[in-house]
A and B are shown apart, each in its own frame.
Chain A
């Protein structure tokens, strides 16, 4: 278990825990892989998928994409790639766009189950370029399931992150790999990645769509982004929509939290929206949104959103057990509990956390949270451990220096973010002490409190001001938002404490009980006595 806290490369991503190769004498072991051999089942698969796409049958496309593709992968391609695109092209009229889509899935499968070579990484980049160019500049009239379009954006960003990690580990690269890095220095270039995402957002005019939706002039969330009546393609529009979430993620990976949140701003996450239709998109949005807010010291905002999504996952994860994303869901779930534990340790706001989420949190992190309140060396170790476990996989975006001596710099970006985070923790180290004293008094003199804290009076005044400063967030518009559970003010030499009591929500409580009883009565009515 402890090993999973080590921050390493992409191979830790749960998607990369390769299935145990022992056991099952799987059909497609590597020696046997012939890229040109197309089994009948694959033939049937591509023929049907191609037909459904041409007929714009979103339901069937989704079944094949989400179901059949996984089943075939599990059965026949556990340890080898799918047949090459050239081999299947004849069965789909050599359709250019279909071939691009097929290759996108082909690479995704390869990344998930095998390790891509340097050349394959470059080829996958080229494929995304061609695919996005068709969407941006061509006329696309397909209707594709949201799940698939989300996966495309998500995978695009993931492969970018993975490439940055890959090229940052220069030490053990072969001469051939280095040559490849030199030759294809534009592959997964950070400008390219950001500009594709940005172009998708702009070309799709998605922000206008969302604006018009707010004014009631256009339907978007109501139809999950599909156009049921007009039948116009949803592809560009949805790629644009998901690209906003992709941009949030890329900016988080770069440590640019302010810009990340700005990219997401057109999506109102306080409302139900298209972003939470596909669970992967829902989780990615909130995870990065919460993390960015944590780094911006907007703890209450982070706590509120983590609480909501953790409750959601708790309720609905059972429906995703068979999904290929299930491991990923669980992993992000655990990471968000760790982030929630950090937020609550820095800014206790337990009344914002729902009961069930709270009991999960206590199961997982009670001991660690107690430690974190102490702010000694052991406490820093816990902050370090949880941050390391739960943070995004930060990247260094600049091109590698391909001159001797070759070094590994894949951890640099992570180390910087960790260091700055721990610096913040250190600045807050005396706050939990002062908080626990304040809780005991309604008024206390500066002198007395200073004696309890074992500091002199001027120092105590700085601690109290630090408490006030750190417990107030500044929102995007520069507004000051109070975040403290225990508040106070000083009048001359006396500290007056005001504890904000959690207001009991009687209204909601009664409503819930009324519904519960009604249900019970209904059930009793249905029971027929013999």
Chain B
């Protein structure tokens, strides 16, 4: 297992290098397509390599493979909150975006971008066959949901969490237990006896933690008045 991973990393290194040396070379197109599949199976990710491939498709639309584009887009969704999904869409011609599967992904992205998690999970359930191809999808989106929750909440009601990550009942208890043990979450009773999660403090949900920009002054500015002071 360990060796396998090592090999994969080595392979990853070479494709990344290939992209760095040949950013504008159509000959690496097939390598990049294989690399997308490899990212899917090994649960790794390279935005640069995938953008490079989309760029080559953009230059030679005849060589475009829709299944590969779909995989790239799913991977990009998993990279949220980064804007990777839009970055990919900017490079995909409009008629390709009309493909059924891609249209679905655009809807999913829209739900995530507007934090409508309930709709997202409903829609995702309907399109399991597309999404299942990429392992780790659910966990990645849950990661994003938790990111948005912890930007927004100090104390978040249990039902809100449940809806965002699409886990309920006993599984949710387990999930919470895990985060209490590993991520510094605290469980509390709220006003109406419902459960509350106290999320770890960060500069986003405790804005006062944001480092105050000191009223500092660059040294060069001060030097300008030296002649006057002397």
Binary CB contact string for chain B from 83 to 104 against chain A (1 if under 8 A, 0 otherwise) = 1001101110110000000000
Measured CB to CB, the nearest residue on chain B to A190 is: B59
Residues of A at under 8 Å CB distance from B?
A: 190-191, 194-195, 198, 254-259, 262, 295-297, 397-398, 412, 415-417, 419-420, 423-424, 427, 458, 461-466, 468-470, 472, 474, 478, 480, 482, 487-493, 498, 500, 503-508, 511, 514-515, 518
Counting CB contacts under 8 A, is B155 at the interface? yes
Given known A-B contacts A465-B148, A503-B215, A489 and B153 have beta carbons under 8 A apart: yes
Q: Are A258 and B204 in contact (CB under 8 A)?
A: no
Q: Which residues of B contact A258 (CB under 8 A)?
A: 47, 51, 87
B181-229 contacts to A, CB under 8 A, are 190-191, 196, 203-208, 210, 212-213, 215-217, 221-222, 224-225, 228
Q: Which residues of A contact B91 (CB under 8 A)?
A: 254-256
Q: Are B83 and A296 in contact (CB under 8 A)?
A: yes
Inter-chain CB contacts under 8 Å: number: 153
With A and B bound together, what is the CA distance between A514 and B23 in angstroms?
53
With A and B bound together, what is the CA distance between A518 and B225 in angstroms?
9
Counting CB contacts under 8 A, is B67 at the interface? no
Q: Are A427 and B110 in contact (CB under 8 A)?
A: yes
B interface, over-half SS: mixed
Interface size on B, residues (CB 8 A): 61
Q: Are B114 and A480 in contact (CB under 8 A)?
A: no
Q: Which residues of B contact A397 (CB under 8 A)?
A: 58-59
Given known A-B contacts A420-B90, A500-B207, A398 and B61 have beta carbons under 8 A apart: yes
Q: Which residues of A contact B215 (CB under 8 A)?
A: 503-507
Could you tell me the distance in whole angstroms from the C-beta of B182 to the nearest C-beta in chain A?
20
28 A–B contacts, CB within 8 A, in A order: A194-B23, A254-B55, A258-B47, A296-B83, A397-B59, A398-B60, A416-B93, A416-B94, A423-B110, A424-B86, A427-B110, A427-B114, A458-B118, A458-B163, A468-B152, A480-B204, A482-B210, A489-B153, A489-B154, A489-B205, A489-B207, A492-B155, A492-B156, A505-B215, A507-B217, A508-B221, A515-B224, A515-B228
Given known A-B contacts A397-B58, A416-B93, A469-B81, A515 and B225 have beta carbons under 8 A apart: yes
A interface, over-half SS: helix
Q: Are A191 and B24 in contact (CB under 8 A)?
A: yes
Q: Are A469 and B148 in contact (CB under 8 A)?
A: yes
Q: Are A462 and B115 in contact (CB under 8 A)?
A: yes
Could you tell me the distance in whole angstroms from the C-beta of A373 to the nearest C-beta in chain B?
19
Could you tell me the distance in whole angstroms from the C-beta of B22 to the nearest C-beta in chain A?
9
Q: Are B24 and A195 in contact (CB under 8 A)?
A: yes
With A and B bound together, what is the CA distance between A514 and B116 in angstroms?
54
Measured CB to CB, the nearest residue on chain B to A419 is: B94
Counting CB contacts under 8 A, is B157 at the interface? yes
Q: Which residues of B contact A194 (CB under 8 A)?
A: 23-24
With A and B bound together, what is the CA distance between A469 and B153 in angstroms?
12
